[in-house]
Amino acid sequence: MSKFLTISPSPHVKGEESVQKIMLWVILAMVPAMVWSFVVFGMGAIITTSVAILSCVFFEYAISRFILKTENSVGDLSAFLTGMLLAFNVPSSLPIWMIIIGALVAIGIGKLSFGGLGNNPFNPALVGRVFLLISFPVDMTSWPVNNNSGVDGVTGATPLGLVKEAISSGTPISQLTDQVPSNMDLFFGNIGGSLGEISAIALILGALFMLYKKVITWHIPVSILGTMFVFAGLLWTVDSEQFMNPMFHLLTGGAMLGALYMATDMVTSPMTPKGQLIYGIGIGIITISIRVFGAYPEGISFAILIMNAVTPLLNRYCKPKDFGRRAK
């Protein structure tokens, strides 16, 4: 027999999974919320999304090709996804040049400076978002009012911002009922806010798809949202004039987007279910603390970044289910 055979250690077969497919599933999962943002915010949303995606992909390509001189990793779709997530996290009225800066920070500093996908300790899109929020606080918190309810171009506060302002000026919550949108409006996304965060239902739909595709497990979303609900609920029981009801906290701001899409990022979240639960509880507590006691009306981005930093520690101490070693 003259033919050369390939030699390699087992296993000799490979599953269907690939990094690219995982990224693709997440991107597909985000489509409903993206479409909803186009409906609600119109051209602004379309431009913001396109610019964010294009610039993220461009920076990924340019930095890895010309600066790092590594293999071009645009094909794994992770830059595309980061762009989409970044767009989801900014108002549709954000000036284009700011979006580009956000993309540069997300891809350049958030990801490639650490060695590319897999090595970044923090969620790149959130690094971009928080950079923008701190650098351009006014632009990042001027929300175009929902097209369905007002004139295009008018800006207003998000429900969370509104409540924060009222409470800090001493107005009791019972006097805000006219200004705060109903839970139904919050659920379907008839509110102002960042592009992708407004419709809970669209986000949940996508998350169900991710669960089905096993891109995420229930541990992180449930522990974050559960903790937020319990913590906010306790505060609300103590004083419903000072603190909003727990459903409001779940449906406003970036709670859904953060819990379902940002905190579940594989690279920056813990590996074992136990670690994921602790991570989720941490995010829930920090988020509500910032919302209620902090200076910012919304805190989930900070909460996720803080818990991202704790992730290596959680991986160290939260070991997987054990087989035959309990006695040791």
Given the rule CB under 8 A, which residues bind another protein?
1, 3, 5-15, 17-19, 21-22, 76, 115-119, 266-269, 271-272, 319-328
| Least distance from another protein to the Cβ atom of residue 256, Å | 22
Q: What are the backbone dihedrals phi and psi of residue 143, each rounded to the nearest 5 degrees, phi first?
A: -100, 125
For residues 99 and 85, is the Cβ–Cβ distance under 8 A? no
| Least distance from another protein to the Cβ atom of residue 133, Å | 26
| Least distance from another protein to the Cβ atom of residue 15, Å | 5
Peptide bond into 11 cis (omega under 30): yes
| Least distance from another protein to the Cβ atom of residue 257, Å | 21
CB nearer to another protein: give 65 or 214.
214
| Least distance from another protein to the Cβ atom of residue 19, Å | 5
Whole-angstrom distance, CA of residue 328 vs CA of residue 325: 6
| Least distance from another protein to the Cβ atom of residue 118, Å | 3
| Least distance from another protein to the Cβ atom of residue 120, Å | 10
| Least distance from another protein to the Cβ atom of residue 266, Å | 4
CB nearer to another protein: give 293 or 323.
323
Provide the residue type at 160 as one letter. Answer: L
Whole-angstrom distance, CA of residue 67 vs CA of residue 74: 15
Whole-angstrom distance, CA of residue 289 vs CA of residue 303: 9
Whole-angstrom distance, CA of residue 134 vs CA of residue 294: 15
Q: Comparing C-alpha atoms, which of 75, 87, 58 is closest to residue 117? A: 75
CB nearer to another protein: give 5 or 134.
5
Tokens of 317: 């101490």
CB nearer to another protein: give 14 or 69.
14
CB nearer to another protein: give 172 or 320.
320
| Least distance from another protein to the Cβ atom of residue 160, Å | 31
Whole-angstrom distance, CA of residue 98 vs CA of residue 134: 12
CB nearer to another protein: give 15 or 153.
15
CB nearer to another protein: give 14 or 153.
14
CB nearer to another protein: give 19 or 166.
19
Sign of the dihedral defined by the CA atoms of residues 125, 211, 23, 118, in that order = positive
CB nearer to another protein: give 178 or 322.
322
Whole-angstrom distance, CA of residue 221 vs CA of residue 121: 19
